[in-house]
Structure 1
Amino acid sequence: MNQREQRKKATIARILAAAQTLFMTNGYASVTTRMIAEASNVQQPLLYHYFGTKEKLYLAVVMQVSDTMAAKIASTQTGSGSLAAKVNHLGHVLTDDNDMNLQMVIHDIANLKASARGRVFKAWQDSLLAPLDRFFAGFQSELLEVYQPREVTLYFLNVLAVYLRPANTAENGGFQQQLPLDRALQMFCTGVSRTEEEK
C-alpha cells in the first residue's frame, strides 16, 4: 500500500470514528456532516467524496459496529464452560468498551429511508441476532425446553440493552449502578422464581 492509500485509509477511519461517537451520543437527526467533518479534522467536501451522504456514512458506522459485535460474539463460542459462565463472559465482551448505543440506533431507524432501514435490520440479523441464536443453540440442552434460541436471544438483548450504551452517554450509569451487569446476567441465567424442588 502506497503512502497516498495509507492516508486515505487513515482519513476514512478517522471520519468513521468521529461519526460513530457523534451518532451514538447525539443520534442521527442531531448530527450534521459539518459536525462530523470538524470532529474528524477534514473538509466537508472530503466527507461527501468518501461517503456521499450522511445516511450512507451512518450506515457505514452501523455496519462497522455490527461486524465488531459479530466478531466479539464468535470469540466467546470457543472453549468450554457452563451456560452461566459463557453468558457472563459474553455480556462483558459486548458491553465493556462498547461503541454502540443500541437504544439510540433503534430510535434513529425512524429517520432513515426504507432501503437504509432494511440494511440496518439485515446487519442486525447477520451480525447480532444470528450469532446470538447460534450461541444459545449451542446450549440447547441447558435451556428449558419451552424456550427457543431466538426467544432467549431477544430476552438476553432486552436484559443487556441498558448496558449497550457507550460510557460517555449522559443516560449511562444510574441503572447500572443500582444493578451491576454481573447480577443482571446471573438473574438472566437463573430466573427469579424458585423451582418446585426449592420450595
Structure 2
Amino acid sequence: MARRRKETAPEDLLETRKRIVATAHRLFMELGYRAVSTRVIADACGLTQPALYHHFADKQELYLEVIREILAKNGEALERIRQSGEPLEERLRRAAAYLLLHAPPNMNVMFHDMRHELDEASRASVHEWFRQGFVGPLAALFGEGQREGRLKSREEGGADPFSSAFLLLSISRSMLNTDLEREAGEGEQELREKTASERAALIVNILLHGMVRRTGESAG
C-alpha cells in the first residue's frame, strides 16, 4: 500500500506565505521588479520554485500582494490616527509624521515598476488600493475639518478633501525618510521620530496657515 503524503498544516502554509511575501518585499524594494525572479525569491526563502508557485501563480501576482500589503498596513495606521479623537491639526501632524517615518522606501522605484511592469488591470487595482490606503483616510480628515468649519470649503477658496490629501502626500514624499536616515544614524530611532515630528509640524503649519504674515502680526 502506498504511503499517504503528510498534509501541511494550514498554519504552516500561512507562515510560508508570509515568509515569501516578506522576502519578496525586501528584494523588490532593494532591486526593483525586473531584477528579481521567482527563483531568486524562492532561494532566499529556502523553497523550491514549485513550492512558491503553490502560493502565487507568477511574479506579478506576488508583486501585487507585496504592494497590497504595504498599502493596507499604511492605510490601517492612518485610519487609526483619523479616529483617535484628537484635534484636527494634531491628527494631521501625526499623519504626516507617520508618512515620513513609514512610507515605503524606494517609492520612485516602486512607482516606476507599477507604470512599466504591470498590466492595465493590475495598475487599476494598485491605484484603488492606494486611494483606499493612503488617500482615503487623509481626505476624510480634511473633509471633517471642512464640515466643522475649521477649514475653508472649495467655494471659500479652499481645496476639496482629495486634492488636500494629495497635496499632503506630495509634500511629505518630498521630505521622505532618506534624509531622516542620514541625519539620524542606524538605531537612533528617537532622533528619527523627533526629526519627523518637527518636519510634520512644519508641513501641516504651512499647509493650513500658509507663509504669508497676516495684517497686524509681528515680524518677531
Would the TM-score normalized by the shorter structure come out above 0.5? yes
Distance 1:130 1:42 in 2: 38
Alignment-mate amino acid for residue 83 of structure 2: T
Amino acid at match of 1:155: L
User: Which of structures 1 and 2 has the bigger CA Rg?
Assistant: 2
SS of the residue corresponding to residue 55 of structure 2 reads helix
Does residue 132 in structure 1 map to residue 138 in structure 2?
Answer: yes
- State the SS of the aligned residue for 1:138: helix
Q: Are 1:101 and 1:164, in contact at CA under 8 Å, matched by a contact in 2?
A: no
Q: Any stretches of 5+ residues in structure 2 without a counterpart?
A: 1-6, 185-191
Please report how far the alpha carbon of residue 174 of structure 1 lies from its aligned counterpart in structure 2 after TM superposition.
6.9
**Match in the other structure for 1:15:** 20
- State the distance in 1 between where 2:42 and 2:108 align: 25
Which residue number in structure 1 is paired with residue 43 of structure 2?
38
The 5 A counterparts of 1:102-141 are: 102-109=107-114, 110-140=116-146, 141=149
In the alignment of these two chains, the number of paired residues is: 192
Q: Given the alignment, which residue of 211, 215, 220 partners 1:193?
A: 211
- Long gaps (5+) in structure 1: 166-171
**Percent of paired sites with the same residue:** 23
Alpha-carbon distance in 2 for matches of 1:99, 1:126: 16
Aligned residues of 1:72 and 1:94 also touching (Cα < 8 A): no
Which whole-Å CA distance do the structure 2 matches of 1:177 and 1:47 have between them?
39
Tell me how far 1:101 sits from its aligned partner: 4.1
Considering Cα pairs closer than 8 Å and 6+ residues apart, tell me whether 1 or 2 has the greater RCO.
1
Change (3 A) 1:100 1:132: farther
Superposition deviation, residue 158 in structure 1: 0.8
The one of 5, 8, 28 equivalent to 2:10 is 5
**Partners of 2:97 and 2:199 within 8 A in 1:** no
Instruction: Render the CA deviation track for 1:61-90: whole Å, top value 9, x for unaligned.
Output: 111111111111111022333333212212
TM superposition shift of 1:46: 1.3
User: Are positions 1:59 and 2:64 aligned together?
Assistant: yes
Q: CA shift at 1:50, angstroms? A: 1.1
CA RMSD, Structure 1 to Structure 2 (Å): 2.6
Structure 1-normalised TM-score? 0.83
Q: Which moved more, 1:126-135 or 1:172-181?
A: 172-181
